[in-house]
Structure 1
Amino acid sequence: MSDKKKRKQGMLENVMRQFNNAADIMELNPNIRKILSITNNEIVVHFPVKMDDGNVEIFTGYRVQHNNSLGPYKGGLRYHPTVDIDAARALAMWMTWKTSLAGLPYGGAKGGIQLDPLKYSQSELERITRRFTYALGTNIGPEFDIPAPDVNTNPQIMAWILDTFMSTKAPSDRSANMHVVTGKPIGTGGSEGRDRATGFGVFLNIKFWAAHNQVNLKGKKFIVQGFGNVGYWASYFMQEEGALMVGVQDAYGSLANKEGISVTDLFAHSRTNRGSILGYTKANEINKEDFFALDCDICIPSALGNQITLKNVGGIKAKLIAEGANGPTDVEAERILLDREIEIIPDILCNSGGVICSYFEWLQNRNGEIWTLDEVLEKLQRKLFDSFNRVLKTAQEYKVDLRTSAFIIAIKRLEDTYVQRGVFP
């Protein structure tokens, strides 16, 4: 079996082990455990798209809907070669826990298309997106399943999904479907602050952790894996707080400078370099395998799942791991980190700013409101502060780590819902 296949299977195994560990500790009702252990729906679509040269390619798209007992399914769509049914299952389950922990009226879903978007033109990506949306049909909807941006997708792709979905509705119904996706461009019903919400939330959780532990972030060294939307904004706000980025890694390479790397300068470079950090002259290129071993105080993995593993965990020097990505730390590596008293702010808490802000966008669309950037960020900060404190309190109550605490809170909310409503019939 290939390493790639093992890695994909590992994500699903990780989330199930995390779930079962928390379920054991909280003594979850065994019948509810059965329900939450499986997905509700799994949609796989194969669809043809004509390329610029006239040839037709067949693409495979996925949408896994894990649970909707708290409200409509919610979760991103990613365009990446690693997208498959197991990855979608794992990510959909994480979304269920994430929305539940945040106290949102949502369930969890995830999906995407198995492709490398760099291999396609803008016009080809538009046709792929529109054809995927049409293939999904009524499996998405503003009160049923609401997609959002994820890895390699962006506001433009959300706008194409919105337009395609609305074109299938009667003219009188189109305005009622604006909230079928979130993460849209501002001029197409998007929310102020959605672009930075996930990264800002990562930063806020680090700031809350620092305050709780009486740590001053000024002068603290951090490294970030992934310099896309999440990694950039997390780094930007860390730099604004006085912290120093000493290492950064993306899909193209790894850079380090113990004296610090300017976040804004590097971002400007990457914008003129097809999104790549390579070729930046104010930092040294290092081997990919040496990245997590860089000398730092805080590590922010903001790329893909299963990045911190038994292969590299031994070299980690950071005192805090702030998970900007979903599932970046595998279960075995996490045990070693916790044994070394390295704290982890878990993904379902740390990167939940994105889905919280998506909820704000959904509300604005439904209610015909437009909030300012300050309003959005203030509401986001309040919600995340409440989540962080509840996770701390539950961790102390159960004498567990922050991830297990977050899972207990999320699962308990779902358990209460099933107990109160019953199981049909």
Structure 2
Amino acid sequence: MLTVKNEPKKGMMENVMEQFNKAANHIELHPNIRKILSITNNEIVVNFPVKMDDGSVEVFRGYRVQHNNALGPYKGGLRYHPTVDIDAARALAMWMTWKTSLAGLPYGGGKGGIQIDPKKYSTSELERITRRFTYALADNIGPEHDIPAPDVNTNSQTMAWIADTYMSTCPPAERSANQHVVTGKPTESGGLEGRDRATGFGVYLTIKFWANKNNIDLKGKKYIVQGFGNVGYWVSYFLEKEGAILVAVQDAFSSIENQEGINVDSLFKHIQQTGSVSQFENTIEIEKDNFFKTECDICIPAALGNQITEENAGDIKAKLIAEGANGPTTTEAEKILLENNVTIIPDILCNSGGVIGSYFEWLQNRNGELWQLDEVMLKLEKKIKESFEKVYDYSKKENIDFRTAAYCIAIKRIEKAYIQRGIFP
């Protein structure tokens, strides 16, 4: 009798390395450059004490991983979540390197955060935690060195605290010149008009471009969204305007469905009032494990990594998966999906609107300019369309899936930079 050995589940770093090696093999990446790109440049781990509202002291652990800066300063978000660890930070930093390269930006990749559940802390405690984390990172971040941005459970307020703390450590004459140490700030503090919707808008655009290539009308098409935060809301907002129908949503607390359609703005207001999609009007609660079984045309994972696995990939009814989150699909799941003729718009293309918007904000601050919303949205659409066309054409030419095509394009650009510059000394 055959005994099936249960292999341990792969972590995010194992997934990203498998994706990297697949593309590196396809383009016959130079072995020396493969060695360089397979490891991170720097890994910063900081433990720092913070006084709580009740006078007690807690010690927190924070991370910042800088993967590669061959194309420019490290760029990537900071997340506050219990799952943050060095392995996750490494994988996310590597994904940022590919993402910024694919988008044609003058950036490398970095990522980090704090291992924390922010819901357990008051606003004043979160401010002190953020400021102390910024101080602990010290010279490891900077507007021309490493530029953080919002990610899971962080927002424009978090970035404002980081910017203020960082600028406070600079000589007075240099403070205003360092405003672009972070992106994703409030508009009143140097933020970009439209940065809040940039990631979701980009996800929507890649879906629209894919539909146009396949002569598909989005009107009447049903879609499901995992995670209804900033990304999930905005992609749903723009898809609804196209006539697409939101039929199911899942958050950390609940999964809801209505095949007749869920109103996006009404659901958003409900979440603002209650903190969850749970008990939203005219919807039924469905089992968490049944979410990806929902009848739909488009599936948008916009929460955390490793959500679509080999256990649930075969249940997905959608013919298109648009990765609003970073690393939501495991490599084993992807093999199943591709065999089932499901198209996947990979994260490094699909959700690149956020980092492109961050680049625009960085430029705005650097040059002392103010960009209008309509100007930002046009620039975003132009940049994302360029990336989509490159990936689409390369995948057709090489007869490979979108993810491998995106990786090949991104890695080739970095390889070229190393060949041109050489290795010091």
TM-score (norm 1): 0.98
Q: What SS does the aligned partner of 1:196 have? A: helix
Change (3 A) 1:9 1:78: farther
* Map of 1:301 onto structure 2: 301
Distance across 2 between alignment mates of 1:20 and 1:352: 21
* 1:252-401 equivalences in 2 (<5 Å): 252-274=253-275, 276-401=276-401
Unaligned runs of 5+ in 2: 1-6
* Map of 2:191 onto structure 1: 190
* Map of 2:74 onto structure 1: 73
Letter in 2 for 1:344: I
User: After the TM superposition, which segments of 4 or more aligned residues of structure 1 sit over 2 Å from their partners?
Assistant: 6-9
Superposition deviation, residue 398 in structure 1? 1.4
Distance across 2 between alignment mates of 1:162 and 1:364: 15
Conserved in 2, the CA contact under 8 Å of 1:9 and 1:87? no
* Map of 1:3 onto structure 2: none
What do residues 158-178 of structure 1 show as CA deviations (whole Å, max 9, x unaligned)?
Answer: 000000000001110001100
Distance across 2 between alignment mates of 1:424 and 1:216: 52
* 1:101-180 equivalences in 2 (<5 Å): 101-180=102-181
Superposition deviation, residue 89 in structure 1? 0.1
Distance across 1 between alignment mates of 2:291 and 2:10: 24
Superposition deviation, residue 311 in structure 1? 1.2
TM-score (norm 2): 0.98
Distance across 2 between alignment mates of 1:283 and 1:160: 39
Q: What SS does the aligned partner of 2:101 have? A: helix
Superposition deviation, residue 245 in structure 1? 0.3
Q: What SS does the aligned partner of 1:200 have? A: helix
Instruction: Tell me if 1:96 matches 2:97.
Output: yes
Distance across 2 between alignment mates of 1:283 and 1:51: 40
Distance across 1 between alignment mates of 2:398 and 2:176: 47
Superposition deviation, residue 281 in structure 1? 2.1
The percentage of counterpart residues that share the same residue type is 71
Conserved in 2, the CA contact under 8 Å of 1:199 and 1:233? yes
Distance across 2 between alignment mates of 1:286 and 1:126: 37
Superposition deviation, residue 7 in structure 1? 9.1
Unaligned runs of 5+ in 1: 1-5
The alignment yields a C-alpha RMSD, in angstroms, of 1.0
Instruction: Tell me if 1:48 matches 2:22.
Output: no
How many residue pairs match? The answer is 419
Conserved in 2, the CA contact under 8 Å of 1:8 and 1:86? no
Q: What SS does the aligned partner of 1:217 have? A: coil
Change (3 A) 1:266 1:35: same
Distance across 2 between alignment mates of 1:113 and 1:9: 22
Superposition deviation, residue 8 in structure 1? 8.9
Distance across 1 between alignment mates of 2:30 and 2:93: 22
Conserved in 2, the CA contact under 8 Å of 1:8 and 1:82? no
Distance across 2 between alignment mates of 1:109 and 1:314: 33
What do residues 181-229 of structure 1 show as CA deviations (whole Å, max 9, x unaligned)?
Answer: 0000000000000000000000000000000000000000000000000
Letter in 2 for 1:147: P
Letter in 1 for 2:333: A
Distance across 2 between alignment mates of 1:31 and 1:397: 27
* Map of 2:62 onto structure 1: 61
What do residues 309-345 of structure 1 show as CA deviations (whole Å, max 9, x unaligned)?
Answer: 0111111000000000000000001001001110000
Conserved in 2, the CA contact under 8 Å of 1:7 and 1:306? no
Distance across 1 between alignment mates of 2:8 and 2:406: 24
What do residues 249-304 of structure 1 show as CA deviations (whole Å, max 9, x unaligned)?
Answer: 00111000000000100000000113x11121221111100000000000000000
Instruction: Tell me if 1:243 matches 2:244.
Output: yes
Conserved in 2, the CA contact under 8 Å of 1:8 and 1:87? no
